[in-house]
Amino acid sequence: MVADDHPSMRKGIIALAQSQPQMEVVAEASSGEDAIRVYDEKLPDVVLMDLRMHGIGGVEATMSICRRHPEAKIIVLSTYDWDEDIHSAIQSGAKSYLLKDMAVEVITGTIRKVFNGDQILPSQVAERLSQRAERQQLTAREKEVLETLIKGRSNKEIATSLGISDETVKSHFKTLFNKLGVRDRTEAAIAAIRHGIVHLD
Give the chain's domains with CATH numbers.
2-133 (3.40.50.2300), 140-194 (1.10.10.10)
Judge contact between 39 and 28, C-beta under 8 A. no
Share of the chain above pLDDT 70, in %: 100
Instruction: Convert the pLDDT of each residue in 99-152 to its tens digit.
Output: 999 999 999 999 999 999 999 999 889 988 887 777 788 899 999 999 999 988
Instruction: Please give the pLDDT value at position 109.
Output: 95
pLDDT band of residue 194 (cuts 50, 70, 90) is confident
Instruction: Please give the pLDDT value at position 137.
Output: 83
* Whole-number Å distance between alpha carbons of 4 and 83: 21
Q: What pTM value is reported for the model? A: 0.75
* Whole-number Å distance between alpha carbons of 104 and 147: 36
Can you list the alpha helix ranges (DSSP code H) found in the chain?
7-18, 32-42, 58-68, 83-92, 104-115, 123-134, 140-150, 155-162, 166-180, 185-194
Higher local confidence (pLDDT), 73 or 198: 73
Judge contact between 86 and 125, C-beta under 8 A. yes
**To the nearest whole number, what is the mean pLDDT of the chain?**
92
**99: β partners:** 78
Does 191 score more than 90 pLDDT?
Answer: no
Instruction: Convert the pLDDT of each residue in 35-79 to its tens digit.
Output: 999 999 999 999 999 999 988 999 999 999 999 999 999 999 998
Does 201 score more than 80 pLDDT?
Answer: no
Q: Could you give the 3-state DSSP secondary structure of residue 78?
A: strand
Helices 7-18 and 104-115 sit at what angle, rounded to 10 degrees? 70
pLDDT band of residue 196 (cuts 50, 70, 90) is confident
Judge contact between 40 and 86, C-beta under 8 A. no
